[in-house]
C-alpha cells in the first residue's frame, strides 16, 4: 500500500485526524462516550459487544530508519484504512502513536466481531510503502468482550489494550482474546510489584532456615537460608512469585545484600549462644553475581558480625556459572580467597557440564531434588545420580542431596555416596527462632522423621545403621 504525502498541516490540527485541537472532542473521548452508549445498548437488548485494539508495534523502528514524518504518514494512512473498513458502522480512534481502537456498533455477536477482526488482519497481509521503502507491519490485535471481560467502558478498553500489547510481542498477526481471570492475575502481579518495591524498607522479609545433615553421623552441618515475604495484607507470598519479580525489577540486588547481612547476623547470634557450630548457605542470583559490590558485601557481612569466611557458603546455579565464564572465575576466586565456601546448586538441570566442576573452585555440589525424586523408580536417573556423586568426589567436592522426603530416598542417596542431605524428612524450612531451638535441643544431631507406611517404619525407630544416638554423640 503506497503512502502519499499531504500538505503540512497547521499546528492547531491533529496530524493524524485533521481535527481542530481547539476545543474539539478527542478521538479517545469520543470512543469512550460511544463505548458507554454501546454498553447501555447491549444491556438493554441482552447482546454482547466486542472492542478491537490494534497495536502496530513497529512505527518507532520505522521512524528511526526513515524519519518521524514517514512514521507519522504511515500511522495516518493506517487510520484512514481502518476508518474505511468500519465506515459508518462504528468508531475508530487513535489512542497513542501505535495504538488504534475499533468499536463496531453493528456487530452484536462475537462471530460478527471476529469477521471485522479478520478484515483488519487482511489489511496487513501485504507490504506498506513508506518513503519509497516497502515495510511489513505485524500488529498485535486484542479483543475485549462485554460483558465477559469487563463491566465498564474504561476497564474494557484497558483490557483490549493489554491483550494487544501482549500479542504484538508474542504472537502478532492473529486476533487474541484473553480470559478476564488472566488479566486479573496481571493486575495482581502489577500490585505485587509495587508492594515489593516497598517491602524491604517496611521490614516485611524474613529468613527461614532448612538444615543439612551429615548422612554418616546425623550431625547438622549447615542451614540454607531461604527468603520469605510476609505481606501485611496477602500473608505469605510464595518465593516462586516474588523472586522472579525481584529479578525483573532489579530489587534482587539490594534484597540479596539484605539476605547476606541477615543470615550473618543470625549465625552470629547462634555462635554467641554457644550452639553447635554450623555454616549458613545463601543463594545468589545472576544479577547479584554480576554486581561489582558482591565481593565486598560478602566480606563485610562476615566481618561486621565477627564470622570467619567459611561460616558463609554461597550457592550459585550452573546457569549462572556459565553465563560469563571469565566473570565467574574472577568472582569465585575472589570469594574463595576471602574464605567463603562456594556451592554449585541445581547441578544436572541446566547445561550439565562436567567442565563447570573442573574449572571453578567449588566446595560443594548440590544434587537437585529432581534427581532424588526419581532415583527409586528410574534406574537411569539413579545411575546418573551415582555418576554425578562419583565425579564430585573425584574433584574433592562434598555432595548434598536435596529434596530427601522419605527414608527410602535417604537410604538410596547414602548408598550412592552423598555426604549430606537436606529435605522434609528432617525438617521443613523454619523461622530463625525455631532453628535456634532445634540446634539447642538436638545438640546439633538430628534423626530423620520416620513416616508411617515407609519401609523402615515398624522395623526400627532408630536412625539408619551406623549413626550414633544423639545422647551418645
- The answer to whether residue 183 sits within a structural domain is no
Task: Look at the chain and report how many structural domains it folds into.
Answer: 2
Question: How far apart are the C-alpha atoms of 135 and 127, rounded to whole Å?
Answer: 5
Question: Is residue 7, in this structure, part of any structural domain at all?
Answer: no
pLDDT of residue 187: 64
Q: Which residue has the cell 481535527?
A: 19
Q: What is the dihedral of CA 297, 302, 305, 311, to 10 degrees?
A: 140
Residue 365 lies in a domain: yes
Spatial separation of the C-alpha atoms in residues 28 and 130, rounded to whole Å: 26
Residue 460 has pLDDT above 50, yes or no: no
Residue 187 domain-assigned? no
Confidence band for 127, pLDDT divided at 50, 70 and 90: confident
Asked whether residue 172 falls in the same domain as residue 200, the answer is no
Domain match, 220 and 327 both: yes
Strand-pairing partners, residue 206, are 228
Residue finishing a domain among 119, 154, 178 = 178
Domain termination residue (choose one: 178, 209, 234): 178
Interior CA angle at 167 toward 56 and 159, to 5°? 95
Measured CA to CA, the distance from residue 82 to residue 86 in angstroms comes to 6
Residue 451 has pLDDT above 60, yes or no: no
Whether residue 15 lies inside any domain: the answer is: no
372: in domain: yes
- Same domain for 420 and 306: yes
CATH number at residue 167: 3.30.70.270
pLDDT in tens, 347-399: 766 555 677 788 899 999 999 888 899 899 989 889 989 999 999 999 999 99
The H or E element that residue 154 is part of is helix 153-170
Q: What is the pLDDT of residues 130-173, one digit of tens each?
A: 887 888 888 989 888 888 888 889 888 988 888 888 888 777 87
* Average pLDDT rounded to a whole number, residues 294-319: 92
Of the residues 124, 153, 178, the one at which a domain ends: 178
Domain with 301 in it: what CATH number? 3.20.20.450
Q: Do 152 and 214 share a structural domain? A: no
Cell numbers 486479573 correspond to what residue? 184
CB of 141 within 8 A of CB of 165? no
- Per DSSP (E only), the strands in 266-397 are 279-283, 312-317, 341-347, 364-367
> In this predicted model, what pLDDT tens digit does every residue of 179-211 receive, in sequence order?
555 555 566 777 788 899 899 999 999 999 999
Residue 284: the pLDDT is 94
Position with higher pLDDT, 1 vs 202: 202
| Highest mean pLDDT: which range of 68-72, 191-195, 329-333, 467-471 | 329-333
Q: Are 48 and 153 part of one and the same domain?
A: yes
Helix (H/G/I), strand (E/B), else coil: 87: coil
Instruction: Enumerate residues 6+ apart whose C-beta is below 8 A from 321.
Output: 328, 344, 356, 360
Co-location of 201 and 67 in the same domain? no
- Are residues 343 and 244 part of one domain? yes
| 229 shares a domain with 80 | no
Render pLDDT for 237-269 as a digit per residue (tens, 0 to 9): 989 889 988 988 889 999 999 999 999 999 999
Q: What is the DSSP letter of 93?
A: E
Cell for 471? 545422647
What's the pTM value of the predicted model, to 2 decimals?
A: 0.64
Asked whether the CA dihedral 181, 182, 183, 184 is positive or negative, the reply is positive
Which residues constitute the domain of residue 110? 27-178
Residues 268 and 407 in one domain: yes
237 assigned to some structural domain: yes
**Residue 376 lies inside a defined structural domain of this protein:** yes
DSSP 175: E
Amino acid at each position: 500500500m503506497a503512502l502519499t504525502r499531504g500538505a503540512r498541516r497547521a499546528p492547531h490540527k491533529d496530524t493524524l485526524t485533521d481535527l481542530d485541537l481547539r476545543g474539539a472532542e478527542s478521538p479517545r473521548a469520543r470512543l469512550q462516550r460511544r463505548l458507554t452508549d454501546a454498553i447501555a445498548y447491549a444491556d438493554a437488548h441482552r447482546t454482547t459487544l466486542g472492542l478491537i485494539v490494534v497495536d502496530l508495534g513497529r512505527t518507532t523502528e520505522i521512524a528511526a530508519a526513515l524519519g518521524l514524518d514517514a512514521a507519522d504518514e504511515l500511522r495516518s494512512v493506517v487510520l484512514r484504512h481502518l476508518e474505511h473498513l468500519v465506515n459508518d458502522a462504528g468508531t475508530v480512534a487513535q489512542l497513542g502513536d501505535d495504538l488504534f481502537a475499533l468499536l463496531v456498533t453493528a456487530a452484536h455477536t462475537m462471530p460478527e466481531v471476529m469477521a471485522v477482526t479478520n478484515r483488519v488482519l487482511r489489511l496487513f497481509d501485504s507490504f506498506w510503502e513508506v518513503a519509497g521503502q516497502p515495510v511489513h507491519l505485524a500488529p498485535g490485535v486484542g479483543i475485549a468482550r462485554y460483558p465477559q471481560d469487563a463491566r465498564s467502558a474504561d476497564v474494557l478498553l484497558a483490557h483490549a489494550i493489554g491483550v494487544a500489547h501482549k500479542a504484538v510481542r508474542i504472537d502478532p498477526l492473529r486476533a487474541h482474546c484473553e480470559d478476564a481471570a488472566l488479566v486479573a492475575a496481571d493486575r495482581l502481579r502489577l500490585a505485587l510489584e509495587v508492594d515489593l518495591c516497598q517491602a524491604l524498607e517496611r521490614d516485611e522479609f524474613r529468613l527461614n532456615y532448612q538444615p543439612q545433615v551429615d548422612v554418616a553421623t546425623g550431625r547438622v552441618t549447615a542451614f540454607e537460608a531461604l527468603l520469605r515475604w510476609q505481606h501485611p495484607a496477602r500473608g505469605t507470598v510464595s518465593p516462586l512469585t516474588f523472586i522472579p519479580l525481584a529479578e525483573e525489577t532489579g530489587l534482587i540486588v539490594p534484597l540479596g545484600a539484605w539476605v547476606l547481612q541477615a543470615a550473618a547476623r543470625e549465625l552470629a547470634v547462634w555462635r554467641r549462644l554457644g550452639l553447635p557450630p554450623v555454616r549458613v548457605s545463601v543463594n545468589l542470583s545472576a544479577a547479584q553475581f554480576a554486581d561489582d559490590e558482591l565481593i565486598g558485601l560478602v566480606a563485610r557481612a562476615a566481618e561486621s558480625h565477627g564470622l570467619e569466611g567459611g561460616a558463609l557458603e554461597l550457592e550459585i546455579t550452573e546457569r549462572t556459572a556459565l553465563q560469563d565464564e571469565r566473570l565467574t572465575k574472577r568472582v569465585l576466586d575472589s570469594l574463595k580467597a576471602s574464605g567463603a565456601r562456594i556451592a554449585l546448586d541445581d547441578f544436572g538441570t541446566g547445561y550439565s557440564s562436567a567442565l563447570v566442576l573442573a574449572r571453578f573452585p567449588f566446595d560443594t555440589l548440590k544434587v537437585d531434588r529432581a534427581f532424588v525424586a526419581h532415583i527409586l523408580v528410574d534406574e537411569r536417573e539413579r545411575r546418573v545420580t551415582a555418576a554425578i556423586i562419583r565425579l564430585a568426589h573425584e574433584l574433592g567436592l562434598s555432595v548434598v542431596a536435596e529434596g530427601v522426603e522419605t527414608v527410602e530416598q535417604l537410604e538410596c542417596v547414602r548408598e550412592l555416596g552423598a555426604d549430606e542431605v537436606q529435605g522434609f524428612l528432617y525438617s521443613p524450612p523454619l523461622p530463625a527462632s525455631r532453628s535456634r531451638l532445634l540446634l539447642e535441643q538436638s545438640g546439633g544431631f538430628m534423626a530423620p522423621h520416620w513416616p508411617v507406611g515407609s519401609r523402615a517404619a515398624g522395623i526400627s525407630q532408630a536412625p539408619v545403621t551406623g549413626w550414633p544416638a544423639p545422647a551418645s554423640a
